[in-house]
Structure 1
Amino acid sequence: MQNGRDYHIHTHYMKCGVAAMTIEAVYRRCEEVGLRSIAITDHLNRREQAPTHLNIRKDMAATPTKMETFFGVE
């Protein structure tokens, strides 16, 4: 985290992820610690994982936040 930004955040969508790391929970915690801009960057880089990308993006779109948010892949 630097200057109110964190562009390396993982969620429960990763096999090694923690179940509690939903998009809503991530947004809430990031807001609590004062972040203004974040990126969700799970390790989902294979073609067969495309449906998971859509689920993440849907969750992100459906979860209100004042932060600037980005979707990426690590």
Structure 2
Amino acid sequence: MADMDHSSSDDASADSRAEDTSQDSKLEFSEDEEILITRMYNLVGERWSLIAGRIPGRTAEEIEKYWTSRYSTSE
């Protein structure tokens, strides 16, 4: 019986971790970062690592995910 209670507790914590991960997927960028990303994209295109090199603490993957979530076109 105690095992059942323990396993349901584990399931709840796993659900909580999944929610935290989905919230982390929404990256927050400052207005200055957004402007810089837009300007750099206009200059160098989809060279995400080059753009990320101009923004301390950001990775190329974060920049690309931000760009595609913000500016992707649905066809």
- The interval holding the TM-score normalised by the smaller chain is under 0.3
Q: What TM-score, normalized by structure 2, do the two folds share? A: 0.26
Structure whose alpha-carbon radius of gyration is higher: 2
Q: What TM-score, normalized by structure 1, do the two folds share? A: 0.27
Higher-helix-fraction structure: 2
Higher-strand-fraction structure: 1
More contact order relative to length (CA 8 Å, sep ≥ 6): 1
